[in-house]
Structure 1
Amino acid sequence: MINYELFIALRYLRARRRQAALSVITGIAIAGITLGVAALIIAQGLVKGFRNDVQEKILQGTSHINLLREDNGGIENYRELIGRLSRIPGIKSASATMYNPALLSIGDRQEQSVIKGIDTIIPDEIEDLRQTMIEGDLTQILSQSTPPEQETQNTADAIILGRHLAEILGLKINDKLVAISAQTRLTPAGLQARPRYTTFRVAGFFSTGLYEYDSRWAYVSLAAAQRQLGSGNTAGVIQFKVNDIDNVAEMSRKLLKEAGAGFMTTTWQELNRPLFAALQLQHRLVIVFFGLLIAIAALNIITTLTMTVIEKNRDIAILRAQGATPQSIRKIFMLQGLVIGIIGSSAGLALGLTLSRLANHYQWISIPAEIYSVSHITLKLSSIDCAAIVGFAVLICLLATLIPSRTASRISPVEALRYE
């Protein structure tokens, strides 16, 4: 059975015709909470979705942990080292690779690029690239088994380029291009660098959706990358994927302990720390901003309850005269504010979730890929996020009732009924 405090609180929410102004203010309070909660839900989904999209795109093109020599030299025994390190619990896959900065040239067009050599005997490496391929034949890279010590005489090694990089250079399948990279050698005069020219044949294009990769990166076989640098059968980096991407720091320590002296590691978090720090700051600012909007909207509850106290002064006095305690009077007005908060928060939750789903379905939020690395944002929300936002809004509304309810509980029945 409903208690009388809640019954009276609900009656006060249904203002009579002569109290139309009170009804309008109550409606404004509910609308303010609704819009504030909906805006905070959308903003939370937007920021979290953008971060997740960027992180997902980054992890498509990079490993979780990189192991390399401290002196930046080549890793000669990389096959044996990979076999040993792969047995560490938590390691999902390991492969050797090389990163070769190069200037790609065709005709009078040139563009800076990073050429990555992928180990074609590692299934995960091939599958990651296969999932992003949009045109061409990946098997042309897989079939390149010529040892790195041997130069290919009559055929150019195959290369797969990012979609935007290919557009910049105006490349098509089977076109040939020249990669110009720097090769250093030790001479009596010290280290000297000389350009090394390598011809590649375009075998395909990939698209990760991350502009930074699609406009800069290209893939060749590990053997082709070794030939390009003239490094012999060595690897520049051993890259790892782990089961828990948030536990890369601990996994790095285990890898260094097992690998021995002379090695260092970098993780995907370290390489992208400035980006994710900026996104985290943005997230906090958005939460604070829209949280303040909800708090401002809750001020209407103070106005609503204050006007209700003034309008219901006589009713409160009668209740007190009939034995209602100050605590009961306070409870009536706190329940009234709480109901406003629950109605507004529930409506805001429904509105926010509906708009978020429509935005995802129709891809309403499109952004310049060349600036933000992704072409559109997918809003992502969890049940915990929604519950926290609704709980925060209801709490703010409840706090807004403290002053008016305290004022109502202090009304003296004698003073209020003296002139009635």
Structure 2
Amino acid sequence: MNPVSRLLTLRKLGIGANRAARRRVIFNIVLITLVVSILVLAQIFVVSMSRGIADKWALLADGHLQLYVDKRQPMIEHPSIETIDRVGEVNALLYSPDKNQMVRVKGVEQSYFNDSRLAQLTITQSENASPSTLAKIMISTTLAERLAVKIDDRLALMLVSNDAIRAQLCIIGALYDTGYHELDEQLVFCDLDFLEHLFTSGVTVYYEVLTQERNLETVKGDFERAGYMATTWKEQNPALSGNLETSRQAVLAVMVAVAILCGYFISELSSQMVEDDKARIATLHLIGAQPQVVRRAYWTAVMVITTVSIALGTALGILFARQLPPLLATIAARSYSALSFYLLDFPIRVPVLDLSIIASVLFCVSAVSVHLSLRRVSAIDALSCVRFD
């Protein structure tokens, strides 16, 4: 780098400059850092919530894969599979003394609630359960509030089919809470043997497969090549999966747009630097400094400030995001009605690709806009500036 350009760059970064210049540099870094940290925090929040909803739906509602297998067809093994569980499902009406609700009844075996599934919900059981010969079901706290019932209360489970109306008196053995009301208000768990015995041909029996989301399509393809009929949870719930992906992309587009505006602000920073240093730039022109040398010095200084701010803002946004779970848990505990349809219990995931896109857009827009704004350096009237001094 040219010695003049290096000296000018260091001065614009506050190195060897007066206190006012250093304060100006620090102020700009803090301002850009705060903007970037907010962008990062917002994107992490939306992506984490979307993936949290997807995990709860896949683990508790449908499984990552659903296999419809003939009883005579042997079950294959796959290294990416966590568990394969036989489940039954039927739609029914759930009656309390005062209200009723259409629900999705899911019959499961005792091994169904493994560690992965238990991590997605909280189960509350009665400490002094009264003995009963009635079949036990597990409903959500959301559904219990809607039906005005509690643990050990009795409910009527009714299936309406083309053949007949079958009703069964049940007792609430436990309550669960996933934190996602959209799922809680429709899903009821019971014993698979009870469900098959009560509803016989009305029950749809299939196998739920748990695997890693990244291996989903690979595992599905392997099952299909082996002759199985397999569907993913996304295919079972196209509206939900589509909405989650659309939400992520929409928020990413908004964050990119804000990053572009931030890049424009950074170009204004370079313009202000040039405006403040018009006399100094004019003097450099008079002593023979080339305009491109001056432009390079200012461009380098602004881009160093931008790069440092992006790095600090990204780190700060991730740090803020890591502190969200306790805050969200406190908000969820207060049961604000306006937030009842939002998931507030989810692990924080850092979307590296999304954050890279936001940072890259901000850096590139800043580089281009700063380069364009610095063209005015060549147009500074040296004699005029000197005369004003």
Query: What TM-score do the two structures reach when normalised by structure 1?
Result: 0.74
Runs of 4+ more than 4 Å apart? 1-4, 13-17, 22-32, 124-131, 320-323, 364-371, 376-379, 382-388, 409-420
Is 2:83 the counterpart of 1:93?
Answer: yes
Native 8 Å contact 2:49 2:344 kept in 1? no
Q: 1:335: which partner in 2?
A: 300
C-alpha distance in 1 between matches for 2:156 and 2:344? 30
Alignment of 1:21-420 (within 5 A): 29-30=28-29, 32-61=31-60, 62-68=62-68, 77-78=70-71, 80-81=72-73, 84-120=74-110, 123-125=111-113, 132=121, 134-136=123-125, 155-184=133-162, 193-231=163-201, 236-259=204-227, 264-320=229-285, 322=287, 324-363=289-328, 368=337, 371-375=340-344, 379-382=348-351, 386=355, 388-409=357-378
Closer, same or farther: CA 225–8 of 1 in aligned 2, 3 Å: same
Amino acid at match of 1:33: I
Q: Contact 2:138 / 2:188 at 8 angstroms: preserved in 1?
A: yes
What amino acid is the match of 1:203? G
Residues 401 and 169 of structure 1: is their aligned pair in 2 closer, same or farther, counting only changes over 3 Å?
A: closer
CA distance in 2, matches of 1:388, 1:404: 24
Q: CA RMSD in A?
A: 3.8
Confirm or deny: 8 A CA contact 2:179 2:345 kept in the other structure: no
SS at match of 2:164: strand
| Structure 2 CA distance for aligned equivalents of residues 292 and 228 of structure 1 | 56
CA drift of 1:181 comes to: 0.6
Aligned-residue identity in percent? 22
Tell me, in whole angstroms, the C-alpha distance in 1 between the residues paired with 2:243 and 2:107: 31
Question: Residue deviations 1:24-56, cap 9 Å, x none?
Answer: 987775455233212211111121111122112
Q: Using the alignment, how far apart are the partners of 1:305 and 1:370 within structure 2?
A: 43
Aligned to 1:115, what secondary structure does the other structure show? strand
The alpha carbon displacement at 1:239 in A equals: 2.1
Q: Letter of the aligned partner of 1:94 in structure 2?
A: I
TM-score (ref. length: structure 2): 0.79
Q: Can you give the 5+ residue segments of structure 2 that lack an aligned partner in the other structure?
A: none
Q: Which has the larger radius of gyration?
A: 1
Secondary structure of 2:7 counterpart = helix
Q: Is the 8 A contact 1:369 1:375 kept in 2?
A: no
Report which stretch shifted further, 369-378 or 219-228: 369-378
- CA distance in structure 1 between the aligned counterparts of 2:166 and 2:262, rounded to whole angstroms: 66
Q: Deviations over 1:265-305 (max 9, x none)?
A: 33111223322322333333333333333333333443343
Deviations 1:80-110 (A, max 9, x none): 43xx233245333223221111112233432
Q: Which runs of 5+ in 1 are unaligned?
A: 69-74, 141-153, 185-192
Query: Do 1:210 and 1:369's aligned partners in 2 also have CA atoms closer than 8 Å?
Result: no
